[in-house]
A and B are shown apart, each in its own frame.
Chain A
Amino acid sequence: MEIFETEVAVIGGGMTGVGVLRDLALRGVNAVLIEQFDLGHGTSTRNHGLLHSGGRYAVKDKEAAVESYQENLILKKTVPGSIEETGGLFVKVPDDPDDYVEKWVNACNTIGIPIEEVPLQIAFAEEPYLNRKAEVVYRIPDGAVDPFTMLVDVTADAVEKGARVLTYHEVTHIETTNAQVSYITVKDRYTGEEKQIHTKLVVNAAGPWSANIAKLANVPMKIINNKGMLTVLNNRINKQVINRLRMPGDADIFVPAHNVTIFGTTGINVEHPDDTSLQREEFEHMIMKGKDLIPTLPQIRMIRAFSGSRPLFQETESSDASGRNVTRGMALLDHEQRDGLKGFITITSGKLTTFRYMAEKTVDLVCEKLGITSNCQTAEVAVPHREAKQALENINLTPVAKKKLFSWAGVNASSIKANLLKDNSIVCECESVTWAEIESALPEKGQFNLGDIRRRTRLGMGPCQGTFCYRRAAAMAVEKGVATSDEAEIALQNGVEKRSKGMRVIATGSANKQLELMDGINYVSLGMKKGGETYV
């Protein structure tokens, strides 16, 4: 068994975990991150991708609103490659309470969130899908954040600064000696091989799974997993984020994301953190509600639906209330104070927008515990931008694929360029993904996994959902010696099944035809097995 030492082990490769990892790396603290699947397997890639500006929480939760607005400004500066400064609108429609508008305007003004009333005709011209019965529209500095690229970029920057990352590793054991965490045991999901990580401190950032991790350390903790459903519209129907000007509720946000719009969400408490089930009734409920903002929503084609759980921390009755609730938005638990276990910290709840702030507060506590004096740098030090226009200006590629790479290639520009010279094939036509990008996104070692490639390149994120491109990518991987044919086949089966799950629940009209085409090609024409072997 491989045994190694680190100062801090971070459990959970979601946005919070990778944020903590990068903060530690920037402060020069030796750290390793353990993620049970791929980065962002949980909540961090299962959300709207909304860069809040605080408007949503202005009335209900002032502290969260302040944090959101501050972080909005910081992230635009420090993770610019993953943020599109779309701006946002808050829209009041006829049934929304009139008095909320005044409360909201006052709250935004008090907090200092810049808002501006937009004449209705201008709002309708900007957003033709918007309900023409809208009564009041305000502009707000919302943005769209790509959680996939942000996760990858923040992690890559941490690794570049010396951190270590183990994905597809599950924590199986947490050893405590004299009320102090001494090591953790992790297991490689692909090979079954175990590793022992000796550490001074464990940061539990496992989101919906953080109660399970706490349990491994015999710490009682309750997390309410509040599952929300979202859908991906076939097109980018709006230029800017569209929010509803009322108390936050279901199905009231539309976020433009690259070539699509993400619409959601709902909230249902579920038992299990792995529960990402999708219900048709929930989807229909969402569409009914969403019609208030976008009346033609039922006629708009969807690509798929997905769900993820918000991990909401709730202090258990049994423990004393010494857990340090930094704000209502996030929960930072010092288990030494709370449960008498040294070397164990949990950071949970919070929002995608405030991940950096959560990481800062967590690492402040880590440093305090380890006796390190070092200031947080993540509010100033930016991760490398994804802009790559200059580097790729002269490549031979279709204009649309080129345009994507200009704002996508970033630090990989030179490797992508070199790959493009060898092969400039487009693999995914819906999202214009080249083989060159796939090649540069492949891990140096490890399993060929179409889901991992998808999260790093957008392969299979378009309307066909991998019907054509997953197969092409798998075939090319075999042809180029990147994967064996058995690996490619398993990757294909897994990939297709995951894609079709999200399609099935929304399948009416064109989306249903698309699914039928996918099933027909895979299971009828090409005789692919259903429910094949899974590798993790």
Chain B
Amino acid sequence: MLYQPSLEASYDQCLKCHACTVNCPISSVSTEFGGPKQLGPELQRMTQNQGILDDASIELCTLCGTCDRTCPENIHVSSLTAYLKETHAEEVGTKFRDIVLSKAEWVGKLASTFAPVTNATMKLKPARKVMEWIMEIPAERNFPEYRFNNFKRKYKIKESTTERKVAYFAGCYATYNAPDVADSFVKVMEYNGIEVAVPKQNCCGVPMFANGQMKAGKKNAQSNIDSFLSYVDQGYDVVMTCSSCTLAMKKEYPGYMQTEEAQRLAENVYDADEYLRILYEKGELNDSLSALNDKAAYYAPCHMKGQGIGNPAMDMLELIPGYQIEDMAAGCCGQCGTFGFKKEKYSYSMALGDTMVDSKSMAESDYVVTECGMCKNQFDQLTDKEVRHPIQVLRQSYELN
């Protein structure tokens, strides 16, 4: 269980130790960004009872949550910066591009419907030049491909008939871009005798929070809370494969919503490998994993680290006989969801990305393993390495049997 301070009380505890700023990925590549300490607790203190104050440099905050994780006083710094993003959006408005990027679910539905066209267009240089000109999305930026046969189209089970019941939150990426991740999750659960139910769900809201669309994000949060809590009440565990969606439900929903429902849902949310690790610890895991003589490099996304549950993916993959996996121990990838798609942020994105891929364990690996689709996008941009979700690797190991 993560510590859940209330927004009002927490910033008061700031000791000015600078841990958040020192560890902030953006502060490490930009002097323009005020940094989490300044734009979080300090700005709160300097504006309390003195009116609101907008700071445009908040656009550079990626909501990676590194500040939250490094704060010795457990201040939820990123919820302060998220609210400042909202203030900024209300003061100066939101770019059309950012509105589009924040609507990942809507884009996913549309792009997936016209998938072959979408994917081809995104690879056309002239089209991308026009996009850069109109939308300020860099022409050289890699885009994830969309799948026509998305997860929503093919998997419609809403109720689980097995003893252990799992309600799966797939998230936009596994739904529209990487349905193989969602399929693999369903399969791995099947191997463990669990039937997966997929409740009604909307985008977790993370792209909205990151673009200052707090109200829209909260609306999505509330609909997901309502939908998944009804499953929790029937004894389901909520399990997820996207680290950002998972962190949102575990930490951001209780932090932003400040409701008992959000808190109760958070207590029943698990990352897929975290959940499998629990099964393993309870002796319930199907251990008929076949040997894989692969050498993998594991990259921990910021939103995985933010969950404070260690490296469950590595814990699980190490159970595969013959499998070698090493933690890249790298910092933020720089893609940071929608951040890396923005022209004015592209140089920061690349500066962070170059640092990430400069890794010995990656160079020596057959492929990279990571949970986050956006981090994968950055790997695709910067390297030729294949990137797999840990659940895909586990599925492969089960299926070899």
Contact = CB atoms under 8 A, between A and B. Distances in A.
B15 A400 contact: no
A467 B49 contact: no
A325 to B, nearest CB: 40
B49 A256 contact: yes
B12 A301 contact: yes
B53 A468 contact: no
Interface residues of B, number: 24
Interface string B26-56: 0000000010011000110111111001111
A139 B14 CA distance: 34
Q: Classify the secondary structure of A's interface with B.
A: loop
B16 A237 contact: no
Interface stretch (A52-60, A63-71, A268-276, A509-517): A509-517
B13 interface: yes
Given A403-B53, A429-B38, A259 B13 contact: no
A399 interface: yes
A525 B53 CA distance: 36
B16 A400 contact: no
Given A236-B50, A398-B34, A399-B54, A259 B45 contact: yes
Contacts of A513: 15, 73
Contacts of B53: 399-400, 403
A235 interface: yes
B1 interface: no
Contact of B49 (A238, A300, A514): A238
Interface in A113-129: none
B382 to A, nearest CB: 32
Interface in B49-74: 49-50, 53-57, 73
A235 B42 contact: no
Contacts of B45: 234-235, 259, 430, 462-463
B216 interface: no
Given A236-B48, A398-B34, A398-B38, A430 B12 contact: no
Given A399-B55, A400-B43, A463 B16 contact: yes
A370 B111 CA distance: 91
A468 B13 CA distance: 17
B2 interface: no
Contacts of B55: 398-400
A207 B17 CA distance: 40
B13 A239 contact: no
Contacts of A431: 46
B46 A432 contact: yes
A405 to B, nearest CB: 13
A237 B13 CA distance: 15
Contacts of B43: 400
A259 B37 CA distance: 16
Interface string A511-529: 0011001000000000000
Contacts of A403: 53
Contacts of A477: none
Interface string A445-472: 0000000000000000011100110000
B43 to A, nearest CB: 6
Interface centre among B13, B16, B18, B38 (most CB of A within 10 A): B16
Contact of B57 (A234, A235, A237, A398): A398
B328 to A, nearest CB: 31
A147 to B, nearest CB: 19
Nearest to B38: A429
B90 to A, nearest CB: 15
A188 to B, nearest CB: 37
A234 B56 CA distance: 26
B54 A514 contact: no
Given A429-B37, A517-B15, A400 B46 contact: yes
A517 B15 CA distance: 8
Contacts of A429: 16, 37-38, 42
Contacts of A400: 38, 42-43, 46-47, 53, 55
A403 B55 CA distance: 11
A259 B47 CA distance: 7
Interface string A426-451: 00011110000000000000000000
A301 B15 CA distance: 11
Contact of A301 (B13, B34, B38, B48): B13
A236 B49 contact: yes
B13 A510 contact: yes
Nearest to B41: A463
Nearest to B47: A400
A431 B46 CA distance: 7
Nearest to A521: B17
A236 B46 CA distance: 8
A439 to B, nearest CB: 21
B39 to A, nearest CB: 9
A259 B46 contact: yes
Contacts of B73: 510, 513
Contact of B16 (A256, A398, A468): A468
Nearest to B13: A510
A474 to B, nearest CB: 17
Interface string B132-162: 0000000000000000000000000000000
Contacts of B48: 235-237, 259
Interface in B204-238: none
Nearest to A511: B15
A235 B11 CA distance: 10
Nearest to A464: B16
B19 to A, nearest CB: 11
B58 to A, nearest CB: 10
A162 B115 CA distance: 81
A236 B57 CA distance: 25
A430 B12 CA distance: 12
Given A400-B42, A464-B16, 17 more contacts: A234-B45, A239-B49, A256-B49, A259-B45, A259-B48, A398-B57, A399-B54, A400-B43, A400-B47, A403-B53, A429-B38, A432-B42, A463-B45, A468-B16, A510-B73, A513-B15, A513-B73
10 A-B pairs with the lowest CB-CB distances in the bound complex, closest first: A464-B16, A236-B49, A399-B55, A239-B49, A301-B12, A510-B13, A259-B46, A235-B48, A236-B48, A400-B46
Interface of B: 12-18, 34, 37-38, 42-43, 45-50, 53-57, 73
Interface of A: 234-239, 256, 259, 300-301, 398-400, 403, 429-432, 462-464, 467-468, 510, 513-514, 517
19 contacts: A235-B48, A236-B49, A237-B49, A239-B49, A398-B34, A399-B54, A400-B55, A429-B16, A429-B37, A429-B42, A430-B16, A430-B42, A430-B45, A462-B16, A463-B14, A464-B16, A513-B15, A514-B16, A517-B17
